[in-house]
Structure 1
Amino acid sequence: MGSPEEDTLRSSDSAQSPSSASATTVNPNGFDEKDLVRSQQQQQLKQQRQHPLAAIPKRKPVAGAGGSGAPVVTSTAVAHDASLEEAGIAHAAATSKMTSRWSQWSSGGFNLGSRSGLGKYSRKIESKLPFAHDRRKRRFFLIGVGAGIVILIALIIGLAVGLIVGKKGTASNLPLPTNHGGPYTGDLTYYNPALGSCGITSTDSDNICAVSHLVFDVASRGSDPNQNPLCGMKLRLRRDGRSVDVTVVDRCVGCKATDIDVSPGVFAKLANIDQGRVLVQWAWLEDAPVAIPA
């Protein structure tokens, strides 16, 4: 027990101790409350200064069945990857097949494939070709054969065209027959043919002629001139060592009995077209139904 003054001082100290303890709270780590508030404010400032998207929480991987935290691969994703792999394999196979076929053709091969049924025949033919073991020489050989065939076809076509043009476009030098009537001598003139009395339409380049109306009318056997037996008959014209065979298709009103009127193309083969009228010899190439005085 002390004096009354000491007891009063002791009681005042015990009354102040709870307020002082509550005013200052010590953090277990050694920091007071003010330091904690200050650190929290600094953290908030740092977060505000970061990129706006940085605050978005990242997606966490879905935990597996075992709870290991590894991402789960679904069956849809596996099927999609498998289909992509199969498509890639199919594309590679198709590309390889096309490349092999192109290499066969470019190297001069004739492999038509076993499925077509022609593969064995192509191999037999290929084995019998010259240079069977040298594709380069064989290719040049086949190119040469093809070029030769093309040249031969061109020569045949040219020869045929030449024969046709030569027969139609130039004069010959053939004698006049004497066993069908003739030879006769008369004037040779030309006209522009169209639809003739025989019902045949002709052009200026055709080897045709019109005989005198005196001959045409005598041979007529009815009122239809198309049925005249002279229509379609052939005769040969000859002048200065040149001859042309023509077909009767018309009737010449202004011609004498032995005169012949022809197309401009026929006249140009026997004389100068500017002459207009020249003498000519002619004879029938087949038996005539009428007799013409020489």
Structure 2
Amino acid sequence: MKQQEEAVSAARLATVHRKPVPTLQQTALPATQQNRFDWWKNLSRRTRLALFAALVASIALIIGLAAGLSTRKHSQNLPLPSGHGGPFTGDLTYYAPGLGACGVTSTDSDKIVAISHLLFDAAGTGSDPNANPLCGKKIRASRDNSSVDVTVVDRCTGCQAKDLDVTVDSFAMLANVDLGRVSVEWNWLEDVPASAQG
């Protein structure tokens, strides 16, 4: 029994006694914080609505301007024929043509090209892609002392700005078809001097 009393006594001594948690008293806010929104309360309902409408209109204007600036056509660095005529360097790939963005139906044996959607869209002047001023423009693609002249009839959504996508027959005139993607140098044919067009 004595051992049990000693054990209980030892346990009591080992128990940590915590101080009671003081209750929180509400303290008054300083006068500057209390009056922070008093100016709003003092406004008439009509004035509050007008201020709120002005805030919403400002936010809408900022968002509209940001959206308009982000979708603006950035054509100053694109290889368009009206700017620097080349030569440009990009990737050359091939695809199975059909009805192109210019409204022309092509086959694998045609010497045609799909240019980057970035170029095609930057040159567009309306909603009709068939009326794009790049449709029908000629490009000379060159690689390893070989070249082929191709006509723009389509738009390539997977191409970067300086890439070209041609028919398999046109690709074969410049590289082994098994390669699938090669580097190519090209320029707008209209910008090549007449003596160099041979």
Band of TM-score, shorter chain: 0.5 to 0.7
Q: Corresponding residue for 1:45?
A: none
Q: Pairwise mapping of residues 96-107 of structure 1 onto structure 2 (< 5 A)?
A: none
Deviation at 1:179, TM superposition (A): 10
TM-score (norm 1): 0.36
Render the CA deviation track for 1:214-271: whole Å, top value 9, x for unaligned.
Answer: 0000000000000000000001000000000000000000000000000000001100
Q: Corresponding residue for 2:117?
A: 213
Q: Corresponding residue for 2:159?
A: 255
Q: Corresponding residue for 2:135?
A: 231
Q: Corresponding residue for 2:145?
A: 241
Is 2:86 the counterpart of 1:191?
no
Q: Corresponding residue for 1:264?
A: 168
Paired with 1:179 and 1:286, the residues of 2 have a C-alpha distance of 10
What is the aligned-residue identity percentage?
67
| Matched AA of 1:230 | L
Paired with 1:179 and 1:217, the residues of 2 have a C-alpha distance of 15
| Matched AA of 2:145 | G
The 3 A distance-change label for structure 1 pair 228 and 179 is closer
Pick aligned residue for 2:106 from 193, 202, 205: 202
Is 2:169 the counterpart of 1:274?
no
Paired with 2:187 and 2:82, the residues of 1 have a C-alpha distance of 9
| Matched AA of 1:196 | G
TM-score (norm 2): 0.54
| Matched AA of 2:142 | R
Paired with 1:233 and 1:270, the residues of 2 have a C-alpha distance of 20
| Matched AA of 1:203 | T
Tell me which structure has the larger Cα radius of gyration: 1
The number of residues matched between the two structures is: 110
Greater helix share, structure number: 1
The 3 A distance-change label for structure 1 pair 232 and 241 is same
Question: What secondary structure does 1:196 align onto?
Answer: coil
Is 2:187 the counterpart of 1:283?
yes
Paired with 1:223 and 1:179, the residues of 2 have a C-alpha distance of 21
Paired with 1:230 and 1:179, the residues of 2 have a C-alpha distance of 10
| Matched AA of 2:135 | C
Q: Pairwise mapping of residues 1-294 of structure 1 onto structure 2 (< 5 A)?
A: 181-286=85-190
Render the CA deviation track for 1:199-224: whole Å, top value 9, x for unaligned.
Answer: 00000010000000000000000000
Greater strand share, structure number: 2
Where do 4+ consecutive residues of structure 1 move more than 3 Å?
none
- Structure 1 residue runs of 5 or longer lacking an equivalent are 1-177, 288-294
Q: Corresponding residue for 2:60?
A: none
Deviation at 1:185, TM superposition (A): 0.1
- Structure 2 residue runs of 5 or longer lacking an equivalent are 1-80, 192-198
Deviation at 1:286, TM superposition (A): 1.6
Paired with 2:97 and 2:136, the residues of 1 have a C-alpha distance of 15
| Matched AA of 1:217 | D
Question: What is the root-mean-square deviation of aligned Cα atoms in Å?
Answer: 1.6
| Matched AA of 1:193 | P
| Matched AA of 2:127 | S
